[in-house]
Amino acid sequence: MDSLHDLTTEQPNPHSLGIDKKSTLEILRIINREDRKVPLVIGRELKSLADVIDTVVESFRRGGKLFYVGAGTSGRLGILDAAECPPTYGTPPEMVQGIIAGGSEALVRSVEWAEDKESEGKKAIDERGFCSKDVLIGITASGQAPFVIGAMKRARQLGTSVVAMSGPPLKPSRTQGAGQR
């Protein structure tokens, strides 16, 4: 894809046009209506989600780890989930790990262009000791972040399970593959 302009995430939401001119209550109603769509979308993906969870559980049983790799907000969300596992589930901190393009600084400040090098994604998982028992979940809203793709390619070279999480498909005029495992 030559441009991110074809992504639905880059298009205006027709249901919230003019939201900036609405009252607070009207804004909240619009957001609430849009948020109600999320469980319906997730409901359509339950089989895929179950497959991913089963893969991760099997990895844990073999002594493997789960790595989230992302860039920008996607990376921050992966790190947030990884950070929550020890206090919520009592897991060792190294069992679920998050990696973000741009490193620790990118957690609190945008690190422009950090996501643009495949080689950095490969390097990041190698530095963490990623191995064939582990599972990598690459998170990229556009499905195109080179840092994430590089990490996923390296994980596949190591013969491990790789899951791709990305945003919605392209506008109806084009289609985009959804990679999983």
- Which sequence positions are flagged as catalytic? 84, 115
Specify the 3-state DSSP secondary structure of 70: strand
Instruction: Specify burial of residue 95 (Cβ count, 10 A radius: 0-12, 13-18, 19+).
Output: middle
User: Which residue's structure tokens are 């895929």?
Assistant: 48
User: In whole angstroms, what is the distance from residue 60 CA to residue 137 CA?
Assistant: 14
Q: Which stretches of the chain are DSSP H helices? A: 24-35, 37-44, 46-61, 72-89, 118-127, 146-157
User: In whole angstroms, what is the distance from residue 23 CA to residue 13 CA?
Assistant: 18
Phi and psi for 44 in degrees, rounded to 5?
A: -75, -15
User: In whole angstroms, what is the distance from residue 106 CA to residue 78 CA?
Assistant: 13
CB atoms within 10 A of CB 122: 20
